[in-house]
Structure 1
Amino acid sequence: MTIKGLSTSFVPLMICVAIWRQGPAHADEPLLERDVLPILARQCLGCHGGLRQKGGLDLRTIPSMLKGGESGAAVKSGDLNASLIWKRIAADEMPEGEKKLPAAEKAVLKGWIAAGMPTVAQRRKHADPLLSSHERHEPQQVAAAIDRHLEAALSEAQLKPAPLSDDAEFLRRVAIDLTGRVPTASQAAAFLDSTEPDKRAKLIDELLASPQFGEQFGRTWRDWICPPELPSDPNGGKQPHKEAQNFGAWLGSRFAAGDSWDTIVRQIIEVDGEIKNSPQVIFFGLVGEGGKPTASGSARAVASLFLGVQLQCAECHDDPYRDWSQDAHWALAAFFRKTTGDFNKISEGPPSDKKKDNVPADSAKLGQITIPKSAFKNAGTAVQAAFLGGKVFEPQSDSALRPPLVDWLTAKENPYFARAFANRLWFYLFSRGLVNPVDDFRELNPPSHPGLMQLLANEFAAADFDVKHLVRCVCNSTAYQRTSRVTPDMTESTTASLTALFGRMPLRVMTADVLYDSLKLAYGDPKLDLRAIDPKDGNTNGESAPVADAYLEFLRRFGTNEEDATDFTHGIPQLLTMINHPRLLNGSKSLDEFLKAKPAPAPEQTIEWLYLTTLSRRPTSEENADIMAYVNKSSDLAKSYGGVLWMLVNSSEYLLVR
């Protein structure tokens, strides 16, 4: 759509924005993101977006509309007569061709311009986070503020939130989330039997203080940062599995030690040296190409992981649907222009003569990078280093470029850093972020609960990026402790709405890592091997050649893949492994040890132990009676108890996180 040479093209774009009405004063007011941009996307952005700007007009943002094209400003806030776009639309002069805007869409555009071109961002700019910024608060204060934000949205939607989970449901959920495994039978019994009023808060503290917390968060962030690619044969894969696991262990040690998030990120981005001394060296190789760091790959990864924004489309051209230019991508990439090495060693030295996108030979000025020939637009253009959405950085000497980037990145004033982590943590605990996808913060994709998003970001920054503090705040909230159970009177739409508004906890399937560690505990086998076995010769034999390492093979079979290491699959192959594998059918070392106790445990005690070990609860009277009847028919008690264990680990209740 232009003022001169008007034209239009159809662009298939779905813009889904989660929006809450802002109160009676604005309830029916058209908003840019919700109402206007979908119309412009269908009719205009093909010619006036990031890829193409006919007549010099860009209609993606309000600033670009006000700037206008060859005919001047396209719109004027609150003035329909001075808005050229509206005049041409009202006269059916645009879009060109036979297809014109329907009356309803014209009314939206007219109302929006007349109302002063309001946006979601403006209406939510001053969303009250409920707690003061720049000040660390007690976890219970933050938890209460979290609940107030969510309850306000639920009340507006006329939805009644789900009740609190019972102790067993909460115990299993929080243990899996914070330690990556189900609790032991003794831990479950102690918690269920406790009558202390604050036992949930105390349990959260205990789990955060455990080494398993570091392990779980270490491997979670390892998989977010560098998903391990698993080979389909024992020795043919050359991906650095051991090094990736070491990186996860290093991250885990930092989380367990209580290192702040800004400290951890600094150690990742500023790393120099060899992998044997610094496991985080692997980061740059895995986000680059062919095991070697690239400036563009490093910029994309840093933006996605630590800033919560997507820059991949801006590598070759201005992003059509995000307010990131190609210059913004390469300005961030310039900070990595001197980073060289591979999986095993990283250094930041003088640029070489090789024409790589990370070390261009023709960058004469300090802190500049040249857009490579592979780019769709502007190949060969020199771009000066600049902080994302901020000022240009001009180094005064040929010193390292990464440290000043990290200084900006981790500053409390940086609007991206704290909220990116807070949103990922929310996604981890609730299966969905306040912004989705988690790395797509932008004007067209605002948070579902902006005040809550600001609250979490403020608290995280005020607490000096203390990871355990933020986890403690969220886990102590009523929202996190609500049940996932659905009552008979809840319709499917009500259940979906409650889940979307965090009025109930969603059901989740155990990740491959969690399932593997939980099975190891249940079977008392730290090296649990569930690789496929050929009964004829005992050789490993799967649907494809298994990985030599039992743990890696389990991850491959149960969900880890090259696209997304957190994607858990549970289908026919996995079901057959769980049901038929001899290792799960032939008893448990943990069960054997329990049965050897003196005095010997009664059948009721053994059944209770089996339920506590697997489901973190005691059996109901009906379940106990059914299993007692089954056990009493057997001449081999140990074998029958093993059968009960096998039944429990194959139950949906075991595989689900409620």
Structure 2
Amino acid sequence: MHTITRQCCVWIWLAGSFAIPCGFTLAADAPVSFELDVQPILTAHSCNSGGCHGKQRGQNGFQLSLLGFDPEFDHAAVSRDARGRRIFPASPENSLLLLKATAELPHGGGRKIERDSEDYQTLARWIAQAAPRRVEEEPTLERVTLEQDSFSLTPSQSESLRVTAHYSDNSTRDVTRLTTYLSNDDAVVSVDENGTIQAGSLPGETAVMARYMYHIKVANVVIPQTEPLPAAVFESLPRNSFIDEQVYKKLQTLGIEPSPTVDDHVFLRRVSLDLIGRLPTVEEAKAFLDGTEGGTKAERRAKLVDQLLDRPEFADHWAGYWADMLRPNPYRVGIKAVMNYDNWIRQQFRDDVPYDSFVRQLVTAKGSTWQNGAATLYRDRRSPDEVAPMVSQLFLGIRLDCAKCHHHVFEKWSQQDFYQFSAYFAKVGYKGTGLSPPISGGEEVVFTSTKGSVSHPLTGETMTPTPLFELPSGQPVAATEETDGEPVDPRVALAEWMTSKENDSFAEVQVNRTWGILMGRGLVEPVDDLRATNPATNPALLSALADEFQASDYSFKQLLKTIVLSQVYLHSSEPTPSNVADRLNYSRHYRRRLRAEVLADAVADVTQTTDSFQAMPPDSRANQVWTTRVNSIFLDTFGRPNENQDPPCERLPESTVTQALHLMNSQQLDQRVRSDNGRAAKLAASQKTSEQIVDELYLSTFTRYPTADERDYAVNLINAAAERRSVIEDLMWAMLNSPEFSILN
């Protein structure tokens, strides 16, 4: 029996169950556990953080594992390393560990604890007990919980979090004081070291992370508008699908009124650029805007979406997004291999291959890199620990990179998880010349080897291929057997587990990625970082989209159609007083700059001139370029990935001064506007009236007719000019430089 005292209260620990209030103190003779009592103190005071002794080589000769992920290492570092000089059991108060922590000896980290504090007393008792690694019948920490994990606050209101640790012997402990807290957005809600959350002055929402040792919980905090909107506002809104129900339900809770529905010309331009990366032609715009095809507005929009999804440009446009995530540097893996890889990706979209089949082919790819482009994935990532984090990030939304060296700082993933998952790729074998950058021109064959294993870097244990989590059914990953003398390929079992309809993460990361492309922001950002500490802004919508994706047998086109025909997709990008501050809930359409290749092709279409790209057939479009090694100042300026960047490549979506200056001053753009074979020259030489010319300029550039004032102004300029070609060229140049052209509204 152990006695635990706090002030005048006495708590008795009996037969495996106890509850300790916040701020507890152990009795003087109670055994102190290094893992349960000492390590939490080191973590709470940031001693083992990345900026202190938890960095890769430690600090001033003293190294701890990052955030205490390796208790064995930390115990040795404190009690035995440096000849045990950090502790002095005969006189604990003179131990270097305590003298540094209290700043009684010079300490770069400053004073961490006070001599009369509970933490000091706990450390002193542990040292006096000869610094044991474990105590008798020591339980293990299994999980932590929050007393409350959802808050709705008014501006400037504060609330307190309370964290409870749960142990293997059914005991619990209030660890609020020793927990580390972090707000995802301090401007909305801040949190102090005691777990007190403080709402800001403006409406908003965010998540607050509470981390005790390697266990993490998240509290969601919402600050609604102070004046709720009448229910009639949302009852009157049209709804086209479950997407609208989920978004409007959230907006009603927050008291945010959505922007109105866009006109046909905005929808036509938006959906065309989103689905095929191409502006509508003048003829296509006229037909849609004039309603010559008949049918209701909803019917015409649905018909348009079907037509766009069947266009050949669809495959090139959407393959480009995946090329960013998969396509390596051709000078590293070989020009022919990358070209085959790019062709393979595009062919998947031309054939409308279901997403799960696309992923299975990639993950289990083998054969010649000159014949099966998918095998290039393994020519670039050549070791299990290189392939595993890429596969988990792209197809599960789980970023495992941190767990390669230590327990993930913001997630549950451990080194054990990382190397067990990596073991799926241990038997990937190679035949051929290998890599020889900067040329790497040879062929290589990827095959399943009879040998290969992955070992844990600390324990040396040989890892068994193991999925990152169990599926809801609890069924183990299906084992594969030898067929036709071929060795067992662990990747087949991995692909079955990943693409199972029970694996929600597989569907969620793809629908989130697609939603982010179409709506300007993912439900989770970054789009491939799905974790408890980075929750979705609308979890119910993410889950519903994933369910719909699975129900359609992972039809990518059906997913796109579901999103672009929703009422939420039709919101105007013009903010209202109610939603001007909303950045998370899709009460309006979030504006974004056109993708580099899309903008380049739009310039070509408006000017009616063609680009010339190296290593490409004549009249190729920017969306068809197979490698970022193809020179293009325009594409580089507008944010295509660096050719030396490892996939998955991220593009910076922000507009820059350099981009604006390029559109204004580029000699190449000026030559295309003034080309003798371009649209401006053809219009000037035609028999069209000034009004017809102005209409064509606006329809080709902005996919709309000009307003009355715009038409009058432009017509007067043309009619007053001695030579109308130069005026038409100047008008086109001005329109190409306007935000309406380069920003998708």
**Kindly tell me: are residues 58 and 496 of structure 1, through their superposed partners in 2, closer, same or farther at Cα, counting changes over 3 Å?**
farther
Q: Are positions 1:161 and 2:258 aligned together?
A: yes
Of 559, 582, 587, the match for 1:503: 587
CA RMSD after TM alignment: 3.9
SS at match of 1:347: strand
Partner of 1:32: none
CA distance in 2: counterparts of 1:49 and 1:173, whole angstroms: 50
SS at match of 1:480: helix
8 Å Cα contact 1:331-1:385 kept in structure 2:
yes
**Kindly tell me: are residues 245 and 606 of structure 1, through their superposed partners in 2, closer, same or farther at Cα, counting changes over 3 Å?**
farther
SS at match of 2:446: strand
CA distance in 1: counterparts of 2:177 and 2:608, whole angstroms: 75
CA distance in 2: counterparts of 1:225 and 1:103, whole angstroms: 42
SS at match of 1:334: helix
Shift of 1:425: 0.9
Of 45, 56, 63, the match for 1:10: 45
Shift of 1:331: 1.5
Q: Are positions 1:610 and 2:707 aligned together?
A: no
**Kindly tell me: are residues 455 and 281 of structure 1, through their superposed partners in 2, closer, same or farther at Cα, counting changes over 3 Å?**
same
8 Å Cα contact 1:336-1:402 kept in structure 2:
yes
Counterpart residue type for residue 266 of structure 2: E
Q: Are positions 1:177 and 2:278 aligned together?
A: no
Of 573, 576, 585, the match for 2:661: 576
Shift of 1:61: 4.1
Shift of 1:574: 2.9
Aligned length in residues: 529
SS at match of 1:348: strand
8 Å Cα contact 2:143-2:165 kept in structure 1:
no
Partner of 2:358: 264
Q: Are positions 1:191 and 2:310 aligned together?
A: no
Counterparts in 2 of 1:216-615, with a 5 A limit? 216-226=317-327, 243-244=337-338, 246-286=340-380, 288=381, 293-341=382-430, 344-350=443-449, 359=452, 363=453, 369-371=454-456, 375=457, 378=458, 380-390=460-470, 391=476, 398-487=487-576, 490=577, 494-497=579-582, 499-528=583-612, 549-550=630-631, 552-562=632-642, 563=645, 564-568=649-653, 570-586=655-671, 587-588=674-675, 589-591=677-679, 594-595=682-683, 600-615=687-702
8 Å Cα contact 2:690-2:719 kept in structure 1:
no
Q: Are positions 1:632 and 2:724 aligned together?
A: no
Among all aligned residue pairs of Structure 1 and Structure 2, give the percentage whose two residues are the same amino acid.
Answer: 27
Partner of 1:69: none
8 Å Cα contact 2:388-2:421 kept in structure 1:
yes
SS at match of 2:570: coil
CA distance in 1: counterparts of 2:549 and 2:513, whole angstroms: 13
Which digits, 9 at most, give the CA deviation of each residue in 1:116-160, with x for residues without a partner?
x9977999xxxxxxxxxxxxxxxxx99511100000000000111
8 Å Cα contact 1:49-1:321 kept in structure 2:
no
**Kindly tell me: are residues 633 and 423 of structure 1, through their superposed partners in 2, closer, same or farther at Cα, counting changes over 3 Å?**
same
8 Å Cα contact 1:585-1:642 kept in structure 2:
no
8 Å Cα contact 2:479-2:493 kept in structure 1:
no
The higher radius of gyration belongs to 2
Partner of 1:208: 309
CA distance in 2: counterparts of 1:190 and 1:616, whole angstroms: 11
Counterpart residue type for residue 449 of structure 2: P
SS at match of 1:601: coil
Counterpart residue type for residue 7 of structure 1: I
Which digits, 9 at most, give the CA deviation of each residue in 1:365-401, with x for residues without a partner?
xxxx223xxx5xx163211001221347766654222
Shift of 1:58: 8.0
SS at match of 2:710: helix
CA distance in 2: counterparts of 1:12 and 1:441, whole angstroms: 28
Shift of 1:324: 1.1
Which digits, 9 at most, give the CA deviation of each residue in 1:293-312, with x for residues without a partner?
22112111111111111111
CA distance in 2: counterparts of 1:122 and 1:467, whole angstroms: 31
**Kindly tell me: are residues 524 and 576 of structure 1, through their superposed partners in 2, closer, same or farther at Cα, counting changes over 3 Å?**
same
SS at match of 1:648: helix
8 Å Cα contact 2:378-2:446 kept in structure 1:
no
CA distance in 1: counterparts of 2:341 and 2:354, whole angstroms: 17
Shift of 1:476: 0.6
**Kindly tell me: are residues 432 and 285 of structure 1, through their superposed partners in 2, closer, same or farther at Cα, counting changes over 3 Å?**
farther
The gaps in structure 2 that reach 5 residues or longer are 1-33, 50-63, 76-132, 148-163, 180-191, 198-209, 222-237, 436-442, 471-475, 615-627
Counterpart residue type for residue 601 of structure 2: D
Bigger helix share: 1
CA distance in 1: counterparts of 2:711 and 2:323, whole angstroms: 42
8 Å Cα contact 1:60-1:321 kept in structure 2:
no
CA distance in 2: counterparts of 1:407 and 1:239, whole angstroms: 28
8 Å Cα contact 2:48-2:68 kept in structure 1:
no
Partner of 2:144: 62
The gaps in structure 1 that reach 5 residues or longer are 15-44, 66-72, 91-99, 106-111, 124-140, 231-236, 353-358, 364-368, 531-546
Higher relative contact order (CA 8 A, sep 6+): 1
TM-score (norm 2): 0.64
CA distance in 2: counterparts of 1:219 and 1:101, whole angstroms: 45
